[in-house]
Amino acid sequence: MKTIIEPFRIKSVEPIRFTTREQRRDLLKNVDYNLFGLKSEDVIIDLLTDSGTSAMSAAQWGAVMNGDESYAGSPSFIRFEAAVRDLMDFKHIIPTHQGRAAEAILFSLIGGKGKTIPSNTHFDTTRGNIEGTGAEAVDLVIAEGKDPQNLFPFKGNMDLEKLEAFLTEHGDAVPCVMMTITNNAGGGQPVSLANIRETAKIAQAHKVPFIIDACRFAENAWFIKQREEGQGERSIKDIVRDCFAEADGMTMSAKKDAFANIGGWLALNDDALAQKARTRLIQTEGFPTYGGLAGRDLDAIAQGLKEIISEDYLRYRVRTNEYIIERLDRLGVAVVKPAGGHAVFVDARSWLSHIEPLQYPGQALAVALYEIGGIRSCEIGTVMFGRSPDGRESPAAMDLVRMAIPRRVYTQSHADYIVEVFEELAAVKDELMGYEIIEEPPMMRHFTAKFAPLSG
Ligand code: F0G
């Protein structure tokens, strides 16, 4: 069959509340054109994030009822630990309430002034947690990864030559090498198994631990199976296990590829470091057999990990993005190619080239998508990255708009609707105006900045 259908039936639904374009114009004005200010019930299709927004399965809800809320030694933890270890065979598995909590614990132990940590591309919370300790976060993704139109199959790969040179130069100042799979900030682009292995080898040769930020590990494994030579006949589970076999640890947000609404973990092989991490965990998250989560959350994650490696699911998951991207491409919309795992990225700087980067073309596009179709997306560009800590403002490397697709939540007719909204937008896009920021906080301004549309 040609159509790759949603590999599930729907048992429980949430109504979508429809708004009119006039209502949305007023709502935008009320929130000063910042989409983070909207109430979710005023959004028709919410593509702000794929994090924590998954639909849980009947089996996960069933597992929730089996959750055991004992403070110590809960069987929910035993099931969680076994499910993680089945895919990622680390010695110590330490639950946290979400991914950034795992990062905060790790970098509080190995970060600090004078340290520098390379990655293909650090996600912004990872960067924040590293820089928060006084250490430096450095991105070493391959050049293809910064070119929205380049069709290279593994645009998330680490630049191995740069990594080698970096480790040779900074040696002792590097407490670990990180790798984000898939590369979220770079468009949800995958990393090949060969690149993971080479990165591990280089890190090992320099005696530096290798840690994977694994949020979207199953999507990454699917791309390896589809695109990497010699991997096509292997099971997703085998590929996943291989990805983690050479790492010394991982951080994870279970809000992505574990189908959970909350949760995460830190995994390590180093006994001494794990002991320090558990001590820190008790101070900040909770006892090591629940780590800031309820027992029922641990059970939902354990079940989610069994479901996420389903090929039927992953085929449908990635196909959804490809489907939208193919249609947007035909409309002439500048989309980031090839399709990433969790989101569709639009290159707003290129598509709305009449809007200067400092008049925020990504924000203009995101606001227009909401006004025309009630779609909430997220600017990942000059609004998010344009203000440096010293107060200066300059254009970010790219002005992208991310439409992150929640897992198992929307259907193909929702995808068709998204494309139709773009069709309408394409007809008027040259009339869209830029924005100015009229108020912003000193840090992370994209969450709360107030905007005003520029006229004429
Ligand atoms: N690493 C990556 C690659 C992520 O995408 C995220 C979260 C985190 C770490 C942190 O995990 O949210 O559980 O604390 N990304 C979300 C997003 C917020 O919308 O991309 P968390």
Domains along the chain with CATH numbers: 21-50+311-453 (3.90.1150.10), 58-307 (3.40.640.10)
What are 356-391's pLDDT values in tens digits?
999 999 999 999 999 999 999 999 999 998 988 778
Q: How far is the CA of 226 from the centre of ligand 1 (A)?
A: 25
- The helix (run of H) or strand (run of E) holding residue 418 is helix 412-428
CA of 101 to the centre of ligand 1 (A): 11
Q: How far apart are CA 406 and CA 260, in angstroms?
A: 11
For the CA of 264, the closest atom of ligand 1 is 13
Strands (E), 146-284: 177-180, 210-213, 249-253, 264-268
Hey, what are 153's tokens? Answer: 């199959």
Q: Which residues line ligand 1 (CB under 6 A)?
A: 49, 51, 98-100, 123, 125-126, 180, 184, 213, 215, 253, 255, 264, 404
DSSP letter (8 states) at residue 391 = S
Q: Residue of the nearest CA to atom 16 in ligand 1?
A: 51
Q: Which atom of ligand 1 is nearest to the CA of 213?
A: 1
Decide if pLDDT at 124 tops 90: no
309 or 125: which leads in pLDDT: 309
**Arithmetic mean of pLDDT, 425-450:** 94
- Ligand 1 atom with the smallest distance to the CA of 255 is 13
Q: What is the pLDDT of residues 130-177, one digit of tens each?
A: 999 999 999 999 999 988 889 999 999 999 999 999 999 998 999 999
Q: Return the pLDDT at 385.
A: 86
Whether the predicted pLDDT of 427 surpasses 80 = yes
Q: Give the torsion sign (CA, 347, 352, 356, 359).
A: negative
Q: What is the mean pLDDT of the chain?
A: 96
Ligand 1 atom index nearest CA of 182: 3
The alpha carbon of 215 and the centre of ligand 1 are apart by a number of angstroms equal to 7
pLDDT at 456: 64
